[in-house]
Structure 1
């Protein structure tokens, strides 16, 4: 898993999907952490137009840029539909935050040759990785 984490964190463009309504939401914290580490980050939430001046996309398909990693912070049933959209867009690196995953989501990723990280938090790993580099 360590090499997979390094591969993901060596990418440049992340989409973060979840709730950004306030600073206590994990998607918001992840967005801020990744931005502070110098990543290009595209927040995705169908109910928001922007987050503190950052354009928020309604879905993955609306992002006109190449996305290297999708970080998902949603309930598992929503996660499954997001993964199908990622597959259609050709995104092969998926980071399922703790609580966003279930066996069906993990199996979907594996069955479709998507690299998947689950059970660990991108914020903690990005802090560790940047200290090592």
Structure 2
């Protein structure tokens, strides 16, 4: 069976503890919405942003390598121009699982960030919104996944 983006996202979320790099200062931002929903669903999400000391009641770390205890996975919700630096931080921290968020906009991935992951032996998750892989995602996120071909990809992988 071929692994799909959706499978990779679900495997990532099965870890239950990971960093969310790019947690915004703006309470109404999408990254904060994702952070709140992950916390609500019981995930131990560690926010990372050098400009914040605390986010959603959780200690915020300036870089991935500053997280204590360390994480081995990171969800990057950074602008594409900053994602390569976030990947460098992940590699320096020993993070082996990287998810470059993609929602309705351009997402976090950049060619440089993807190349850095590949050079470090990391197969990044790209072109997938966390809500598409999150158990119990609402109808909007399932519909969004259908438009993006995520669910078709899963059905092809299982031969349905």
| 1:29-44 map, 5 Å | 29-44=33-48
* Number of corresponding residues: 129
Structure-2 residue corresponding to 1:10: 14
Residue 107 of structure 1 and its aligned partner are, at CA, apart by 1.8
Q: Which runs of 5+ in 1 are unaligned?
A: none
**1:91 aligned residue (86, 92, 95):** 95
Partner of 2:134: 126
Give 5+ residue unaligned stretches, structure 2: 138-160
Structure 2: distance between partners of 1:69 and 1:128: 22
Structure 1 moving runs of 4+ over 6 Å: none
64-73 or 19-28, larger mean C-alpha shift: 19-28
Distance 1:52 1:9, change over 3 A: closer
Larger radius of gyration: 2
Match 2:80 to one of 67, 76, 79: 76
RMSD: 1.7
* Larger strand fraction of residues: 1
Q: Check if 1:114 corresponds to 2:119.
A: no
What residue is the counterpart of 2:150 in the other structure?
A: none
Aligned to 1:45: 49
Match of 2:68 in 1: 64
**Residue 46 (structure 1) shift:** 0.7
Please give the secondary structure, in 2, of the residue aligned with 1:115: coil
CA contact (8 A) 1:12 1:68 kept: no
CA contact (8 A) 1:73 1:100 kept: yes
**Structure 1 residues 35 and 23: CA distance shift in structure 2, 3 A:** same
Alignment partner, residue 100 of structure 1: 108
**How far off is 1:9 after superposition?**
1.5
Offset at 1:128?
Answer: 5.0
Give the alignment's TM-score, normalised by structure 1: 0.87
> 1:47, CA displacement in angstroms?
0.8
